[in-house]
């Protein structure tokens, strides 16, 4: 697990000392030593590496990393560049982006460009066994990622939350900062996208809010590779 080097450390370093995290670390280390786990261990904290706390403008909250090969790399909803079969939820995110902002649908699902602009692509659970969805739920990651969300909530500047689906929206009681905007919609998965994710216009709403508050908006277009 590559250690965090940037300004996140100040906000969450206390978590590493807590008993739950020490148990989690032990569990995760054993899992990586004995099973196939995604993402690769060095990618677990990519969302934090790529988006320093001081640069967060938008938080998109996912649940569990993708659990198939060449997909998960530490950013929620994103897959590695060589993965040409895009997960259905990501396909639906691209459809909504096209309808909302006129973005063309790219040939890849690599969302690093968003992360580098201040979009924190955070999953509530940061690891998973190959081909076993939710296999690392309830092991301690949720407590750790709640600490990350609380650190974002404490930031005294405009920030947008995109909360898709009930698990993401269960975090709303933690989001108490009046300077922040909370956007809610059903999850983009094929099971629920037609119940209000399509047409939610979260991307244009986020940019309008950032611009109104004097913050550079996000360029949401992922380019073809």
Dihedral angle, C-alpha 163, 168, 173, 176, nearest 10 °: -40
Judge whether 38 and 127 are in contact, CB under 8 Å.
yes
Structure tokens given for 52: 């320093």
99 noted as active-site residue: no
The residue with tokens 């309808």 is 99
| Cβ neighbours of 150 (radius 10 Å) | 15
d(CA 65, CA 177): 28
Looking at 42, 43, 64, 100, which residue is catalytic? 64
d(CA 160, CA 145): 17
d(CA 222, CA 54): 23
Structure tokens given for 35: 């099973």
177 CB contacts (<8 Å, ≥6 apart)? Answer: 153, 154, 155, 156, 159
Judge whether 107 and 46 are in contact, CB under 8 Å.
no
Catalytic positions: 64
């Amino acid at each position: 697990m590559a250690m965090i080097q940037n300004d996140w450390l100040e906000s969450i370093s206390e978590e590493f000392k807590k008993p739950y995290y020490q148990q989690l670390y032990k569990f995760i280390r054993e899992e990586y030593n004995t099973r196939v786990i995604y993402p690769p261990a060095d990618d677990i904290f990519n969302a934090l590496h790529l988006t320093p706390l001081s640069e967060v403008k938008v938080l998109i909250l996912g649940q569990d990393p993708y659990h198939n090969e060449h997909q998960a790399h530490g950013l929620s909803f994103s897959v590695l560049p060589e993965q040409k079969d895009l997960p259905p939820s990501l396909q639906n995110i691209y459809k909504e982006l096209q309808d909302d902002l006129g973005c063309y649908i790219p040939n890849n699902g690599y969302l690093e460009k968003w992360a580098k602009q201040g979009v924190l692509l955070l999953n509530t659970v940061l690891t998973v066994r190959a081909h076993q969805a939710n296999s690392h739920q309830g092991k301690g990651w949720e407590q750790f990622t709640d600490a990350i969300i609380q650190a974002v909530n404490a930031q005294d500047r405009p920030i947008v939350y995109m909360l898709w689906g009930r698990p993401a929206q269960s975090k709303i009681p933690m989001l108490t900062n009046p300077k922040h905007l909370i956007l809610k919609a059903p999850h983009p998965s094929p099971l629920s996208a037609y119940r209000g994710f399509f047409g939610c216009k979260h991307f244009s709403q986020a940019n309008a809010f950032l611009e109104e508050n004097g913050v550079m908006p996000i360029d949401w277009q992922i380019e073809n590779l």
